[in-house]
Amino acid sequence: MRLTKFGHACVRVEHEGGAVVVDPGLFTGEEAMAGADAVLITHEHFDHFAEERLRAAAEARPGLRIWTNRAVAGQLEGLGTRVTVVGEGDAFEIDGLSVSVHGEWHAVIHPDLPRVTNIGFLLGGRVFHPGDALTLPEVPVETLLLPVSGPWTKLSELIDYTREVKPAQALAVHELVLSELGREGAARMIGQLAPDAAYRSLADGESVELG
């Protein structure tokens, strides 16, 4: 498997059967979906889901399939059976790549704001993208995509979450709003206090081989 980081919360996972893209939102370049076979969307916020771009990608590639929660699927009317609604506890395969679904809710941003639904995806039993939540998948995770910054995040909670998941490595996502100094500070703290998870931040377009 080969994982490539694309803009903020988006990653592309290439495997023997094809390519899967997770959360290509408005901060993600359109090249992330080029030639992709499937798209997974964790929730409806614009930095994870860009309806017009996703529809354009589906039009350009008739075989493209989409798995997401009910709220996002409701905004993709007209794509028919190409969109599949999934939720907590579901499992499916994409061209030989196993995917399981974990979690139900977006993290609390503020008590006065309504929460939206959010699902996390475990790909190939190895790579976990939680979306905007600190969901514990309750199964071993090799690579955790850690949402490092947002209006709902707190560094101490991210550290404790990384310790609980116990991944072999943690790759930063959701960090676009951080300055370079902010990214370095987060890396130092996470590296110091969750040392068993090799933490790193990939540049836009940078890839890592997962074996």
In the chain, where the domains are located: 2-205
How many angstroms separate the CA atoms of 14 and 1, rounded?
6
For 115-159, the pLDDT digits (tens) are 999 999 999 999 999 999 999 999 999 999 999 999 999 999 999
Please, what is the average pLDDT of the chain?
A: 96
Q: Side chain identity at 87, as an amino acid letter?
A: G
Residue partners of 59: CB distance under 8 A and separation at least 6: none
Check: pTM over 0.95? Answer yes or no: yes
pLDDT at 211: 72
How many angstroms separate the CA atoms of 83 and 159, rounded?
35
pLDDT at 176: 93
- Cα dihedral sign, 208-58-125-174: positive
How many angstroms separate the CA atoms of 66 and 79, rounded?
9
- Cα dihedral sign, 201-136-87-154: negative
For 12-21, the pLDDT digits (tens) are 999 998 999 9
CATH architecture label of 2-205: 4-Layer Sandwich (3.60)
The pair of structure tokens assigned to 42 is 């964790």
Long-range contacts of 76-82 (CB under 8 A, 24+ apart): 76/51, 79/55, 82/58
Q: Side chain identity at 101, as an amino acid letter?
A: V
